[in-house]
Amino acid sequence: MEDSEQTQYGSTEKPDRGAVLNGHFDGMVKCPAPGGSGRTAAAAATSAAAGAQNPGAESGAHQPVMESWREERTRSVEDNESSLPSLAAAYTTILRGLGEDPQRQGLLKTPWRAATAMQFFTKGYQEKIIDVLNDAIFDEDHDEMVIVKDIDMFSMCEHHLVPIFGRVHIGYLPNKRVLGLSKLARIVEIYSRRLQVQERLTKQIAVAITEALHPTGVGVVIEATHMCMVMRGVQKMNSKTVTSTMLGVFREDPKTRDEFLALIRS
């Protein structure tokens, strides 16, 4: 109880805007210790490294976790409505720049539809893990692997603004606390509905589960197809990208990892 996340929500630190990356800031990082008590490692908070990697903070057996639990929302529902006109204007410019006629019947309302669609594809910026998870963590004396697999995932490539879609498989070893199963899928939704890079997405999901539950270990595997490789560029239709993040005992114990990988294949 003394280590419960609730006490930390009262903190009033607000990061400056410059340190916000993809909806997260490089604030305090936590090491996922197997005993369940969080050890905080101070990381260089404000001069944020450009990517999620912070090599200086890496250490021996326990890989420090890169993002903080308390991400700020970078957008609100009111922001959505107020930015719609300028988004629609931007899309009209794009249509004209491509040589199309924005006044023809099929394209008349396209700027608005495309703007709303894009806001939907990036709705992860409006949501926080806390809101989704707050009441679905239960005390349960279960210490075998829990896996939720084949979670359909849709994201947007941050380099080309073209969809990425695939499946996410998540497994964790509870340490006295389990999570409502759909909450794992909701965590995937929050992080995938953003402009993403698959490596970062995998890590963010794993870190969020670690920080929420302090389990003995977490494993996340994502297999996805990137439309930026399929529809353009190299144009390889059948290629898939697979990334994985293993934390805690999934990283340290090969047998646990093998069990997880075998179960998600079956």
Instruction: Please identify, using beta-carbon distances, which residue of 1 and 98 lies nearer to other proteins.
Output: 98
Smallest distance, Å, CB 103 to other proteins?
Answer: 10
The residue ranges that bind other proteins (CB under 8 A) are: 17, 20-23, 50-51, 74-75, 79, 83, 86-87, 89-91, 93-101, 104, 106-107, 109-110, 113-114, 117-122, 125-126, 152, 154, 158-163, 165, 195, 197, 227-228, 230-232, 237
For β-strands 39-41 and 137-139, DSSP reports them as unpaired
Clarify whether 31 is annotated catalytic: no
Closest to 258 in 3D by CA, of 141, 145, 143, 142? 145
Selected catalytic residue, list 67, 198, 204, 214: 198
Smallest distance, Å, CB 156 to other proteins?
Answer: 9
Contacts of residue 30, Cβ cutoff 8 Å, sequence gap at least 6: 38, 39, 40, 41, 64, 65, 68, 69, 210, 211
Could you give the residue ranges of the DSSP H alpha helices within 98-180? 110-121, 129-133
Write the DSSP symbol of residue 35.
T
Clarify whether 228 is annotated catalytic: yes
In angstroms, the CA 175 to CA 26 distance is: 27
Token duo for residue 255: 């047998």
Clarify whether 157 is annotated catalytic: yes
Selected catalytic residue, list 157, 189, 196, 211: 157
Clarify whether 158 is annotated catalytic: yes
Instruction: Please identify, using beta-carbon distances, which residue of 101 and 140 lies nearer to other proteins.
Output: 101
Clarify whether 160 is annotated catalytic: yes
Closest to 124 in 3D by CA, of 102, 147, 156? 156
Instruction: Please identify, using beta-carbon distances, which residue of 40 and 53 lies nearer to other proteins.
Output: 53
Instruction: Please identify, using beta-carbon distances, which residue of 107 and 261 lies nearer to other proteins.
Output: 107
Catalytic positions are 157-160, 198, 226, 228
